[in-house]
Amino acid sequence: MGAREVYQKTKKVPDLFWNRFVCRPVAAVLVSAVQSTRVTPNQVTLASFVVGVASAGLLIALPGHLGLIAAVVVYQASYVLDCADGMLARWRGVASPAGHLLDFLMDELKAFAVLGAAAVRLHLEQPEQPFLVLGILGLVALASGIALTSFQRHPQVAPPKSDAAPSRSALARAVRFVEAVAKFLIHYPSYILYVALAGHLEWYFYPYLAVNAAYAAKAWLSVALRFGRA
């Protein structure tokens, strides 16, 4: 089967712009090339992790603007693999909760690696700025957000799903807009290449830290309010 058919049958709807028009079409070419081989979706997931960690190492090791671009291009290769694993699983009809959890785990480990590497790179470029301290705080916020989210989604903790229609009030619309912006900033693969081309890694670093800190605080407050009264 060709890449076009693979893409049409395995794409997600809705999907982010970067995924839909850049990474998934490239991933479809990869999936079409390996679909009849013994390569498994989980192996693609693990390969994505290895390439992602390598890109984090390059982010530290390669100086200058071109070094930044090269490191991020390698990261984008990791993200293409990240798209390809699920597409391959859906194409073969072998998608599973365990595979989804493995993909989630590898994604979060890559996020740790990239954030930590970005902090080190910015520190090497501007040692007078507190990038290392901010990086450590950012990693704590990221880890806290992941832990709190996993806790809140546990079947014994998660509240029942509501069928109520979303509110149409001005405040609710504003909240949804802020959440949409935050989700975009969290999904750094969608924009980190633009940041690299501009030569301003801090454009990823500061917003990503801020959103993760805000999310961790929100999740902690939600847990505290719910269980503090029990």
pTM score: 0.92
At 130-170, the pLDDT tens digits run: 999 999 999 999 999 999 999 988 888 887 776 667 778 88
Residue 171 has pLDDT above 90, yes or no: no
Delineate the domains of the chain, giving CATH numbers in brackets.
Answer: 3-227 (1.20.120.1760)
Residue 181: pLDDT band with limits 50, 70, 90: very high
pLDDT-based confidence at residue 230 (cuts at 50, 70, 90): low
3-state secondary structure the chain: CCHHHHHHHHCCCCCCHHHHHHHHHHHHHHHHHHCCCCCCHHHHHHHHHHHHHHHHHHHHHCCHHHHHHHHHHHHHHHHHHHHHHHHHHHHHCCCCHHHHHHHHHHHHHHHHHHHHHHHHHHHHHCCCCCHHHHHHHHHHHHHHHHHHHHHHHCCCCCCCCCCCCCCCCHHHHHHHHHHHHHHHHHCHHHCHHHHHHHCCCHHHHHHHHHHHHHHHHHHHHHHHHHHCCC
Residue-wise pLDDT for 9-47, tens only, equals 998 888 889 999 999 999 999 999 999 999 999 999 999
Would you say residue 178 has pLDDT above 70?
A: yes
